[in-house]
Structure 1
Amino acid sequence: MARVRPESGGLGLAARFALTTFCVLLVVVGLGAWALFSTARDIADRYERDVREDALVATASANAGGIVERASSSTRSQSGVERSAVVLEDGRTAVEFRYGRGDESARLVVVDRDRELADELFQLVVAAVALVVLVASIASWILANRVARPLRRIVDDVRTLAQGGGAQRYRERVKGGGEVVLLARALDRVGEELAVAHRAELELGLRERELELAEQVREALLPLTTPLVPDYDVGGMHLPGHELSGVFHDFYEYGDGRVGLLVCEVLGEGVPAAIVGAIARTYLRGALTGLSDVGEAFAVVNRELARDLPRGVVVTALFAVLQPEEGRATVACAGHRLPLVRTSAADGKLRVFQPEGVALGLDAGPVFERTLAVQDLEIAPGDRLVLATSGAVTTPDADGQELGERGYFTLLHQAASAPTHDFLRTVRRALEDRTGDEPRRTAISLVTVRREPTAH
């Protein structure tokens, strides 16, 4: 697959550097060449003038006998000019040019100044090179700083990101185009992704803490033991949900042999629901174990919750008091969605019991107490009672289809005749199979009691 070159919106870093360097060198070298040419021309003019003046003076001195030494040999050009090296009386060396013979010959003596010219030109070249190097170095330093400035900003931003700093808009902080802007855009994306990852990390940490708290709350809300009742098989189960909630069940044992079975749920999720569930459990346990009348106990709990619950929070409960000796149970319902289910061993039918009553905490007292009803029912040998929270019917399958009350009643009816341990295992497996590997959103609590078929 071919790589797609990203659009930078300007010259690349290498192109910008090369272009700027070329322009700077063009200006520096051009100015240096002009300065070198001008200075060299001045030196040449001055040298030519000095040579002429020296030649005039030296020639006059030679004519006056100022030559103290002459070379033994001389050279003659094709034009007849004789050239010989001489030493003047002031010690300087010179070259004598003579044309003609005898008194009619012309003479010109030129003092040797080539060394001086070479030294001046050498100094000029050294100065010009030094100046070009200095100017080029300054220009390169300025250029490097202009190129490095946005890179330094990006490095600082990367360091800030590495230290956990917040995301910034790097593209707005970097001017120009090319690779620097591409890098800034990449940092924009990295910053945004890091911010998202940081939020996800915080949410994950919060989620893990909530799950840890949920486990602690679940353990605190659920009963430690299950009552052992002669001729009755009592049991309960709790399927934790993915969300923290106030769903729980409880058992109460009275001194006269009665046993209370409770399921309760707070309609809500998260830490607030769990806290309300813990508060409701405390109130319910205190009232239901301290007062013999179920209606009065519920009224006390309602008044307490009405004072403490935040607006919009609803607590529902379904409670049954088992009277083993009489083979009966007393049922009270405080706005609970699912009714108490009784499966009959005599005719195999399933019946529901849902006495009237509003949720706990909705009303301060009069309406709740006026509408709350208590219902008695018989438990024959082989009969089973089941109390559950609403999650038992709202559990969806892989297609998102809820089990519903009909499916729930069918499940209970099919497993009702089994011992309580097997009954709970069958119900648990059926509910867990519906969700598969997906986490269960809502927790489920279920309690049940079956009167032994051999009981009298």
Structure 2
Amino acid sequence: MRQRMRREIRSGDYEFVFAGNGIEALAKLREHKDIDMVLSDINMPEMDGLTLLEQIPSVDPNVRSVVVSAYGDMKNIRTAMNRGAFDFVTKPIDFDDLRITITRTLETIELWRSALESRDKLVVLENELSLANRMQQSILPTSFPESDSYQVFASMEAARDVGGDFFDLLPIEGGRVGLAVADVSGKGIPAAMFMMSSRTLLRGAAIGQSDPSKILREVNQLLCENNDTAMFVTLFLGIFDPETGEFVYANGGHNPPVIFRADGTPSLLPTTDGIALGIFPDIIFQENSITLAPGDTAILYSDGVTEAENVEGEQFELDRLYEVFAEAPPRDARTATDDVLKAVNAFADGAPQFDDITCLTLRRGGGAE
């Protein structure tokens, strides 16, 4: 064997470890953890090749075995294959054929290792995505205000690879409520971590503060101070006063909400200057306000709504959002949110979802019910 394979040995293609029987072979396997394959005769003293085949997996289940058998000995060849042999060669040995068999076996081992590595990476990825999804869901409110004066309801459908959408309700002094919808850049665990930081900072900045522009400015400053990941978050924040219907807001680069008046007339909320948070410090966020009359509805959403695609690659866009309530204005916050999500899913019609789909609805009580 050494003489016939001297070229491969000199070039470093193969390195052989020799054993006189099956017992010695098992000892060599335990000693040399880097052995990839075993080439074994069936007929050996003390422990034959068929018994060796049964024992190899207990030492290293990833080793592949090739058996050497007498020409025409199909009974032993079948037994060897049933016991886990990868391939066989027959006597007298054709060394050109043996080289091909060894090469094929080693290539298969490399493919197997690559498949195992890919599987392990996939398992890790799946676990990370599952964890990120749980992190994302854990920070979302699960109870919503519902009274004669106003209603709020929100829902998010997470993409499989987990984006960074979140929404939140913030208690504001004077009986007012803060409504936030945000979208963090990136996917997976990093996005989930940045999302949780953004949400925590938002809630902290809102304590004792009723000015949405100042809240966004403070959150932006804090995000910029420790942002080694260079991630950012778009964030819309509105503060609603149920007594007066006043809706004061500031926008950090997020999609502007849609207002549906009580008669069903839609319009985009007037924009304010402001870029995504976490990019540049010392940004001044402008503020604006409108008054929601009884029966008016504000739809806050992420770009997962308007940029949802169908199988033809068309996007949902704002016009289709307007059409959701073309026949009748929103009746209540929960139904309105559900109607938007149903319309997006019907439009996508099974096309892959690449981004989180988030919708938050605020409806002022009164008007046509």
- 3-state SS of 1:342 partner: strand
> Deviation at 1:162?
5.3
1:350 paired residue number = 267
The letter of the residue matching 1:342 is I
Contact 1:341 1:352 in 2 (8 A): yes
> Deviation at 1:272?
1.1
Quick one: which of 166, 169, 176 aligns to 1:248? 166
Q: Distance in 2 between matches of 1:212 and 1:163?
A: 30
Q: Distance in 2 between matches of 1:193 and 1:153?
A: 13
Q: Answer with 156-165 or 205-214: which moved more.
A: 156-165
Q: Please tell me whether residue 322 in structure 1 is matched to residue 240 in structure 2.
A: yes
TM-score by length of 2: 0.71
Q: Please tell me whether residue 396 in structure 1 is matched to residue 309 in structure 2.
A: yes
Quick one: which of 290, 295, 303 aligns to 2:213? 295
Q: Please tell me whether residue 186 in structure 1 is matched to residue 99 in structure 2.
A: no
Gaps of 5+ in 2: 1-19, 21-34, 41-52, 65-92
> Deviation at 1:258?
0.6
1:262 paired residue number = 180
- 3-state SS of 1:224 partner: coil
Q: Distance in 1 between matches of 2:183 and 2:200?
A: 13
Change over 3 Å in CA distance of 1:274–1:413 after alignment to 2: farther
Q: Please tell me whether residue 442 in structure 1 is matched to residue 355 in structure 2.
A: yes
The letter of the residue matching 1:375 is N
Q: Distance in 2 between matches of 1:246 and 1:295?
A: 22
- 3-state SS of 2:144 partner: coil
Quick one: which of 16, 20, 38 aligns to 1:155? 38
> Deviation at 1:411?
3.0
Q: Distance in 2 between matches of 1:302 and 1:345?
A: 35
Q: Answer with 277-286 or 220-229: which moved more.
A: 220-229
Q: Distance in 1 between matches of 2:159 and 2:328?
A: 24
Q: Distance in 1 between matches of 2:216 and 2:329?
A: 29
Q: Distance in 2 between matches of 1:175 and 1:403?
A: 66
Q: Distance in 2 between matches of 1:175 and 1:325?
A: 94
Matches within 5 A, 1:5-404: 154-155=37-38, 163-164=61-62, 176-178=95-97, 180-310=98-228, 312-336=230-254, 338-346=255-263, 348-365=265-282, 368-369=283-284, 372-404=285-317
Cα deviation code 1:62-81 (max 9, x no counterpart) = xxxxxxxxxxxxxxxxxxxx
Contact 2:297 2:364 in 1 (8 A): yes
> Deviation at 1:234?
1.2
1:95 paired residue number = none
Change over 3 Å in CA distance of 1:388–1:349 after alignment to 2: closer
Q: Distance in 1 between matches of 2:203 and 2:327?
A: 33
2:13 paired residue number = none
TM-score by length of 1: 0.58
Q: Distance in 2 between matches of 1:215 and 1:153?
A: 40
Q: Answer with 237-246 or 181-190: which moved more.
A: 181-190
Q: Distance in 2 between matches of 1:386 and 1:407?
A: 13
Q: Answer with 428-437 or 305-314: which moved more.
A: 428-437
> Deviation at 1:422?
2.0
Cα deviation code 1:58-112 (max 9, x no counterpart) = xxxxxxxxxxxxxxxxxxxxxxxxxxxxxxxxxxxxxxxxxxxxxxxxxxxxxxx
- 3-state SS of 1:155 partner: strand
- 3-state SS of 2:268 partner: strand
Contact 1:420 1:450 in 2 (8 A): yes
Q: Distance in 1 between matches of 2:349 and 2:39?
A: 49
* Number of aligned residues: 293
Change over 3 Å in CA distance of 1:228–1:418 after alignment to 2: closer
Change over 3 Å in CA distance of 1:434–1:182 after alignment to 2: farther
Q: Distance in 2 between matches of 1:431 and 1:242?
A: 16
> Deviation at 1:415?
6.2
- 3-state SS of 1:271 partner: helix
The letter of the residue matching 2:317 is G
The letter of the residue matching 1:310 is D
Q: Distance in 2 between matches of 1:231 and 1:153?
A: 74
Cα deviation code 1:15-60 (max 9, x no counterpart) = xxxxxxxxxxxxxxxxxxxxxxxxxxxxxxxxxxxxxxxxxxxxxx
Q: Which has the higher contact order (CA 8 A, sep 6+)?
A: 2
Contact 1:247 1:445 in 2 (8 A): yes
> Deviation at 1:341?
1.0
Contact 1:246 1:277 in 2 (8 A): yes
> Deviation at 1:244?
2.5
1:99 paired residue number = none
- 3-state SS of 1:289 partner: coil
- 3-state SS of 2:163 partner: coil
The letter of the residue matching 1:244 is V
Change over 3 Å in CA distance of 1:417–1:224 after alignment to 2: closer
Change over 3 Å in CA distance of 1:351–1:439 after alignment to 2: closer
Q: Distance in 2 between matches of 1:434 and 1:425?
A: 14
Contact 2:259 2:297 in 1 (8 A): yes
2:11 paired residue number = none
The letter of the residue matching 1:155 is V
Change over 3 Å in CA distance of 1:294–1:400 after alignment to 2: same
Q: Distance in 1 between matches of 2:187 and 2:174?
A: 38
- 3-state SS of 1:296 partner: helix
Q: Distance in 1 between matches of 2:147 and 2:172?
A: 12
Q: Distance in 1 between matches of 2:171 and 2:125?
A: 37
Q: Kindly, what percent of the aligned residue pairs are identical?
A: 25
> Deviation at 1:153?
7.5
The letter of the residue matching 2:160 is H
The letter of the residue matching 1:193 is L
